[in-house]
Amino acid sequence: MKRPTAAGLARLLLIAALAGPPATAAHAASWQWSGLPDRERVTITLDRPGDVDVARTGRQTLSLTSRAVGAAPARMGGADPAGAALVGEVAPQPGGLRIDTRTPGFGYVVTRPAPDRVVVDIFRDPMGERWTASDGGQPPAQSGQSGQSGQSGQSPEQAGRATPPVPTPAPPAAPAGQPARTAQPATAATPAPPAPSPSTAPAPAQNGARQPRVVERALTDGSDTANGTGQTQAAPAGGVTGKLSTGPGTAPPAQVTGQIGATPPAQPQNDAAQTGGQPAAQAPEQPRSFFAVPYSIRARINSGGPAEWPEEAAASAQATPPAPVPSRGEAGPAATARQDEQPAAPQAVAQATAQTSQTGQTGQTGQANGQANGQPKGKEQTKDLAKDMAKDMGEARKSAAPRPEGPTPPPQPDGQPTPPVTGNATSPQAEAAGKAATNGTNATNATQVVYVDEKGNPVPAPPVPAELLEQAKTFMVNADYPKALELLETLKGLRDTPKDMYEEVLYLIGDVLYAQNKDNILPVFDKIITATSEAMNYNLKSHRVPQALLRLGLLNTRIGNSQEAEGYFNLLRRQYPHDENAALAMYYAGEEAYKRGDYQKAADKFQSIVQDFPESKYVREGSVSLARTLYKMGYYQQAASILDFVDKRWGRFYLEYPQLLTVAADVSDHLGKLDDARANYWLYYNLNPEADDIDTVLARQGDILAKQKQPEAARVLYEEAVRRFPDKDGGLISLMRLAEEGIHDTPSIAEMISVFQKPDNTRPVQAYTTIISGHPQSPLVPLARLKLTMWYLWNRQFPEALASAVEFAQAHPGSDMLPKVREIALQSFTQMVGESVADGNYGRILQLWEQYPLIQENEKDLSVDTHVAIALSYANTGQPQKALEMLDGFLKGPKDPKHGETVLALALKVYLETQNWQRIVDVMQGVSGWSLSDPVQKQADYALALSQENLGHPDLAVPLWQRLYDRKDLPQEQRAYVGYFLSRDAERKRELEKAYLLTRETLSDFLAVAQASPEKEDTPRIKESLLSLMDITEAAGRLRESLDWTDQYARYVPDSDPGYAAMRYRVARLQRKMGNVDAWKATLEDLARRDPQSLYGRMAASELRTTDVTKGLSGFTQGAQP
């Protein structure tokens, strides 16, 4: 076979092109627009699957090209985007479709949920304004398997966020004149951090100052999936460094120096060469911000180094480690190191040790017990104590609880006992005794003294108060509280105990009682109060009185006597304003208010420490607690200012109290300073990798990455938190984030709809169920239950949604999410009511209404439709009174355009059936200003006229009857009553002809209604009409007609009727007037015979006798004539 040449192939292709494509049906696309809470969506459905390309081809144009879109016009389905804010027009163009937008400031995301469907989500994005023609035709970047994300105006940094690495900022440079400060290295060696790309590198600092960085600890042992290097990130060799910053480029005030966070090691020489060997220029001075609330710092700030700080306020004056305190949710006051579990070192030695460990020097211990006993302590002994204290500090730090809400107040000065809240119930005297006993400082007597009685027999030596006191203190140090208390009680009973020692014994008794029962104060509360009060009242001028007042306040705080505690704290501050315990009392009062949720009062207490005790050792703790409280109150900028003050005055405080970093990170997060928040979280993670709250820190880091549009990096952290902490809050938060693919901590129904509309919408339900059923004590349960209730509502499972809402209200009655739950419950109930009304199932409506008190409690929030439906249900089930109660509020004030007339008609119907005439009059007066439709006006006139008649006001009813009588569309039943009342009025006015015509017409209508509906026959009105006709015709002399009406009347009066006799007597009277004497006589005789004892029977007999006498007298008179 001959192979075709190139020229032959060309001719073949030309022929095929001239011939044109084969005849096939033109493919047309259909599109649908929909508006979502944060974007607008265009869904394009092709007639057949095919490849699709979507790109931005103009400032306000997106182009979709595909072979699956033919030349036929696109079909629109669903809502018209005429009122859309972003999408303008969708129109065909050669080879595809064109989407015109109303603004160039937009971004878009393209997804392919099916081979024949394309979803384009368009959202507002100011970066879109930067689009130029040179960028045209660029398709959106791929965004994983689920779809594409498009933003033509994206910067290279934004475009590179598809799979971003977890950044590793550089360490912060130490300020000029300040020595570099480092933390202990986390690992032995760390590779150098990768150099940032030009598109992501931060702007250089002025004068060549290096940018601060925070080394981020590697989370997994596997490969680095974020940056794709396949290498494991490790902590830097130089130690964990960082800074609690307030944002890039923020210059601190000139008069304040220092930083929170350790500084890196000394800079290499090449750094100095780059800067020319000159120190960085000082940042320009900026004025301090003005606070919207009265929380400004007035404390004196030392601008020098640690050597120039006051001893009691220096950052390194205390070596007490942070205490174990409640976890970070809503914890209370901080506590000191867990001295309850181990003996505490003497205060003076601890202070000396702290100074030695902080400054690197070994000095004199001042008031140490060794000097007090004449035994000076050498350098080696001090070093040993420093080692022991450092070990104790390490153990205390290991036992610290996660994320305490407040820092630890330092120990008491001047030999005072540690406050009760710290758990150390021993006094410095007891510690000194224990120390002296340990060091063997008690000397033995050179001469032995033997005590004998009067007979010379040896007897035990009398007790020596000093020796008993030392023994009691030794027992206290060894936590042998029963023996210590026994000795102290013995000392209290001795007569020769010196006064100063007796005072000490009284205070020590209170110390022992507290230490012995610190875990259960309530049973011995009165004993401790009595012992402390006795000691205080023994010498009101003692230097121990402030400490006693503090203890009394703390004891009352422990058992919930807030007002009593407040009284003791105020007394302490008023009587001893310059005592350190006054500041400490303000601190504990603030912590107590914080635990109760009284944040305003807590802020006032902490602010008082900062302003009124600026040189107190508790200013540092008070400042941090003030920042934490302001954060809770929503004053994030003020909280940031307080943290900045702490940063500059106590730059190394975060090493003693790492939770300060999480407070700063939370504040920065709320202020939108995500880089600062992330840096502080990472620094905390590196300093405390095994902290109890590290699970929450991981989840919050993932949240920050999600907010920074780094979903892949956030997902890595979430998955790590779920893997490591599946049963802790951080893991559960991450589980929810992964299921929802976003952060939804304050969800609304509209917001969650976009989550539930995703293809795999069962994952959120599984996460919610796991949290609710598997971790019922978790603080995340209310949020999970709220979202599950929303899912039921969205999935149209209204009974389940209503039941879940009721369960939430019962389980979490004080939750701030309860209003949203009530909203869901009302929506579910409204939907079920609508379905029941359509089915005519009024019984189900009442069942739901009476089954859920939650709905009844929020009746005022129900729609008018629902109210009317409930009222109709009551009316249709024979409960008209409850129906009226439901409708009462709608008949007052202006007319409701949709339901006003419906409610009025229903009310009139119920009131007519119950014959509540006065209520009808009241209702009509209330709606007198309403403009009613013709049918409702007719019903209202009829009801009001009938009410006036029954209330004895016929003159007010006649105009209404006449207006109704003139209508031609009045139902026959109502016309019968209208004519009846008009005929009565004419008869009263002696207008006999009008009365006669109206009555005949009325009688005819009543008889017709009775014939059509026997159950509606109104016999009394028929009888009254016949009687009226009898009276009118008799009065007009039309006796025969009157007798005929009487015969008709007799059909409704049987023999047993009480009115039968009266009717027969009237017939006899008409017969006599007509001259039919025989008929008259027969009627009377029959009446007298039937009921001789009745009134009409006696009248008939009397009339017959009178007639007989008259006849006899007439015959006698005729016979006597001549």
Whether 159 and 197 have beta carbons less than 8 Å apart is answered as no
3-state secondary structure of 108: strand
Task: For residue range 531-580, list pLDDT tens digits in order.
Answer: 999 999 999 999 999 999 999 999 998 888 888 998 999 999 899 988 98
Q: Is the pLDDT of residue 500 over 80?
A: yes
Report the Cα 129 to chain-centroid distance in Å. Answer: 38
Whether 279 and 205 have beta carbons less than 8 Å apart is answered as no
Confidence (pLDDT) at 399: 36
Element (H, E) at 729: helix 729-740
Read off the pLDDT of each residue in 188-193 and give the average, rounded to a whole number: 33
* Token couple for 1082: 């027969």
Question: In the chain, count of helices (H) and strands (E)?
Answer: 43, 13
Q: Is the pLDDT of residue 433 over 70?
A: no
Read off the pLDDT of each residue in 764-785 and give the average, rounded to a whole number: 94
Read off the pLDDT of each residue in 501-510 and give the average, rounded to a whole number: 92
Q: Rounded to an integer, what distance in angstroms lies between the CA atom of residue 208 and that of residue 1111?
A: 151
Task: For residue range 118-168, list pLDDT tens digits in order.
Answer: 999 999 888 888 888 766 554 444 433 333 333 433 433 343 333 333 333
Element (H, E) at 163: none
Q: Is the pLDDT of residue 258 over 80?
A: no
Whether 148 and 140 have beta carbons less than 8 Å apart is answered as yes
Confidence (pLDDT) at 727: 94
Q: Is the pLDDT of residue 303 over 80?
A: no
Q: Is the pLDDT of residue 707 over 60?
A: yes
Confidence (pLDDT) at 459: 81
Q: Is the pLDDT of residue 439 over 60?
A: no
Whether 855 and 848 have beta carbons less than 8 Å apart is answered as yes
Q: Rounded to an integer, what distance in angstroms lies between the CA atom of residue 353 and that of residue 363?
A: 9
Question: Contacts for 245-249 with beta carbons within 8 Å, 24 or more apart?
Answer: 245/172, 245/212, 245/676, 245/679, 246/640, 246/643, 246/644, 246/668, 246/673, 246/676, 247/673, 247/676, 248/202, 248/203, 248/675
Q: Is the pLDDT of residue 483 over 80?
A: yes
Alpha carbon distances (Å) from 1104 to 178, 1093, 1101: 141, 15, 5
Average pLDDT for the chain: 73
Task: For residue range 644-692, list pLDDT tens digits in order.
Answer: 999 998 988 999 889 999 999 999 999 999 999 999 999 999 998 999 9
Q: Rounded to an integer, what distance in angstroms lies between the CA atom of residue 1024 and that of residue 1040?
A: 19
**Which residue did the predictor score with more confidence, 280 or 603?**
603
Which residue, among 667, 681, 595, has the nearest Cα to 638 in the 3D structure? 667
pTM for the model stands at 0.49
Residues 6+ apart with CB under 8 A from 165: 194, 224, 226, 227, 228, 229, 713
| Rg of the Cα atoms in the chain | 49
Q: Which of 458-467, 871-880, 906-915, 941-950 has the highest mean pLDDT?
A: 941-950
Task: For residue range 1027-1082, list pLDDT tens digits in order.
Answer: 889 888 888 888 888 888 988 888 888 888 888 888 888 888 888 888 888 888 88
Confidence (pLDDT) at 902: 81
Residues 6+ apart with CB under 8 A from 569: 549, 550, 553, 585, 586, 588, 589
**Where residue 603 falls among pLDDT bands split at 50, 70, 90?**
very high
Q: Is the pLDDT of residue 321 over 70?
A: no
Confidence (pLDDT) at 558: 87
Q: Is the pLDDT of residue 837 over 60?
A: yes
Neighbours of 1119 (CB within 10 A): 6
Hey, where are the domains in the chain? 25-159
**Where residue 460 falls among pLDDT bands split at 50, 70, 90?**
confident
Phi-psi region of 366 (alpha: psi -120 to 50; beta: other; left: phi over 0): left
Read off the pLDDT of each residue in 424-433 and give the average, rounded to a whole number: 42
Q: Rounded to an integer, what distance in angstroms lies between the CA atom of residue 487 and that of residue 483?
A: 6
Read off the pLDDT of each residue in 791-798 and give the average, rounded to a whole number: 93
Q: Is the pLDDT of residue 1122 over 60?
A: no
**Where residue 822 falls among pLDDT bands split at 50, 70, 90?**
very high
3-state secondary structure of 123: strand
Confidence (pLDDT) at 875: 81
Report the Cα 589 to chain-centroid distance in Å. Answer: 27
Which residue, among 37, 28, 29, has the nearest Cα to 121 in the 3D structure? 37
- Phi and psi at residue 52, in whole multiples of 5°? -135, 140
CATH class name, domain 25-159: mainly beta
Q: Is the pLDDT of residue 300 over 50?
A: no
**Which residue did the predictor score with more confidence, 187 or 1013?**
1013
Confidence (pLDDT) at 1065: 84
**Where residue 33 falls among pLDDT bands split at 50, 70, 90?**
confident
Identify the weakest region by mean pLDDT among 92-96, 498-502, 635-639: 92-96
Confidence (pLDDT) at 72: 61
Give the percent of the chain with pLDDT over 70: 67
Which residue, among 416, 419, 374, 422, has the nearest Cα to 396 in the 3D structure? 422
Q: Is the pLDDT of residue 107 over 80?
A: yes
CA–CA–CA angle 63, 67, 72 (5° rounding) = 80
Neighbours of 189 (CB within 10 A): 9
Judging by DSSP bridges, how do beta strands 87-93 and 141-143 pair with one another?
unpaired
Q: Rounded to an integer, what distance in angstroms lies between the CA atom of residue 886 and that of residue 873?
A: 11
3-state secondary structure of 1113: helix
Identify the weakest region by mean pLDDT among 313-322, 440-449, 759-768, 1060-1069: 313-322
Task: For residue range 1078-1121, list pLDDT tens digits in order.
Answer: 888 888 888 888 878 888 878 888 888 877 655 554 554 454 44
